[in-house]
Amino acid sequence: MSVRHRSANGGRTRLRAAVPILIIMSLASLSGAQTANADPPPPAQTITADQARGSRSAVGVVRHAERGGEVLELQLPPPRISTSALPASEQGRRAAARFLDSASNGAIAIADGVGDSEAGLLLTFPDGSQARTALAGVAGASFAADGSWLASVDAAGRLWRIEAKTGSASQLASGPYTGSIHFTRSGDLLLVEAASIEAPFPAVVVRFSPESRRAVVVDHEEGFVFSAFELPDASVAVTAHVFGGGVEVRRVTNGSSARLASLDPRAIDASLSDDGSRIAYTVGGTVFLHHVASGSTDRLGPGEMPRVAHDGSSLLVLRDGQTALLAADGTELDRFSTAAVAWASCEGGCQP
């Protein structure tokens, strides 16, 4: 059972998918970290908790102590776009907003309206205040370690630095990049740079320095790259559909690549535990969990968008517009009535 808490502004709360789903967008030329163009920054504004409540845009947070770590459930304002005409499998993905990341200081980043061309980036804080950035078509975002800023990619594949307190944005690079954004322990970014927005393959993984605005290619193997993140030994786990082959996860160390796992050729939405020992993915609306050490794969039943707990002991999946918490053997441990649920990475700071 969950340990449920009340939000500071009085409401129960909900939130949406965290971690690894890649929203692929197209980009514009495979040239590493290009110098940022002089594009005008998107407008930004901040509002107080009272103003958020008055405008009916307040976001509440409920914390749940679960097997595998802390889970956040957000209560979001009504969506601006009707999803009734969408297939059931897509309604959970696009019903309202999409959880992007949480920070150690309790800030939460939300794409406030997936599929809404007028939507942008919403940052909400434990005291109920908010910062909004009109970053059209937000594809992904990730907080820096201290929570003071976050890196985000827009619909054109451009990389932006967003100041958490104000929402103000400055362009770091023109990319084009996809929605896979992960910080390394050293403070660099792991990004997927694609050939173009219209045809986002081939793609490569680059290590981008926010300080120098330079990128170095990490993995030279061509393919359709879904995501990349750093493992505990500082190697990089890359999930990709290899040209002429299937979907695989490989470990890249100092430019040398070794296969970590081979997945079903139709696999999507792959999610890895922090140490890379377990990999969840979906095929045709069914969730599978691959165990790297044994090479075995378990079928866990229906679901979409699996998100593995940091320690790999459980996972969150979308089911019929709700979120189910599953044990590694597929046993359902808990059920949430919304799709807006995610693993927390804010170390208990998401709620006062």
Provide CB contacts within 8 A for 322, sequence distance 6+.
92, 335, 336, 337, 338, 339
What gap in Å lies between CA 54 and CA 48, rounded to an integer? 10
Residue 89: per-residue pLDDT: 55
Query: Of 107, 217, 89, 213, whose CA–CA distance to 164 is shortest?
Result: 107
> Phi, psi (5° rounding) for residue 247?
-90, 130
Is the pLDDT at 153 greater than 60, yes or no? Answer: yes
User: Which tops the pLDDT comparison, 169 or 63?
Assistant: 169
User: Which tops the pLDDT comparison, 200 or 212?
Assistant: 212
Please compute the mean of the pLDDT values over residues 51-57 and round it to a whole number. Answer: 92
Structure tokens at 84: 């009734």
What gap in Å lies between CA 179 and CA 165, rounded to an integer? 22
What gap in Å lies between CA 342 and CA 16, rounded to an integer? 6
> Phi, psi (5° rounding) for residue 36?
-60, 135
What gap in Å lies between CA 260 and CA 264, rounded to an integer? 14
Residue 280: per-residue pLDDT: 98
Over the chain, what HEC string results? CCCCCCCCCCCCCCCCCCCCCCCCCCCCCCCCCCECCCCCCCCEEEECHHHHHHCCCCCEEEEEEECCEEEEEEECCCCCCCCCCCCHHHHHHHCCCEEEEECCCCCEEEECCCCCCCCCEEEECCCCCEEEECCCCCCEEEECCCCCEEEEECCCCCEEEEECCCCCEEEEECCCEEEEEEECCCCCEEEEEECCCCCCCCEEEEEEECCCCEEEEEECCCEEEEEEEECCCCCEEEEEEECCCCEEEEEEECCEEEEEEECCCCCEEEEECCCCCEEEEEECCEEEEEECCCCEEEEEEECEEEEECCCCCEEEEEECCEEEEEECCCCEEEEECCCCEEECCCCCCCCC
Query: Of 244, 246, 171, 177, whose CA–CA distance to 205 is shortest?
Result: 177
Please compute the mean of the pLDDT values over residues 253-281 and round it to a whole number. Answer: 95
Tens of pLDDT along 59-84?
988 989 999 999 999 888 766 556 56
**Domain residue ranges of the chain, discontinuous segments joined by +:** 44-343
To 5 degrees, how large is the angle CA 240–CA 242–CA 243? 140
- Per-residue pLDDT band for 87 (boundaries 50, 70, 90) equals low
Residue 14: per-residue pLDDT: 32
Tens of pLDDT along 112-145?
765 555 568 999 999 999 999 999 888 899 999 9
Total-model pTM: 0.83
Provide CB contacts within 8 A for 267, sequence distance 6+.
246, 247, 281, 282, 283, 288
Query: Of 290, 231, 299, whose CA–CA distance to 263 is shortest?
Result: 290
Residue 297: per-residue pLDDT: 97
Radius of gyration (C-alpha) of the chain in whole angstroms: 19
Q: How high does pLDDT run on average in the chain?
A: 83
Please compute the mean of the pLDDT values over residues 285-294 and round it to a whole number. Answer: 97
Is the pLDDT at 55 greater than 50, yes or no? Answer: yes
Fold adopted by 44-343: Neuraminidase (2.120.10)
Residue 340: per-residue pLDDT: 83
Lowest mean pLDDT segment, chosen from 104-118, 182-196, 214-228, 284-298: 104-118
Residue 190: beta bridge partners?
182, 207
Structure tokens at 216: 């170095």
pLDDT > 70: what percent of the chain?
79
CB atoms inside a 10 Å sphere around CB 153: 30
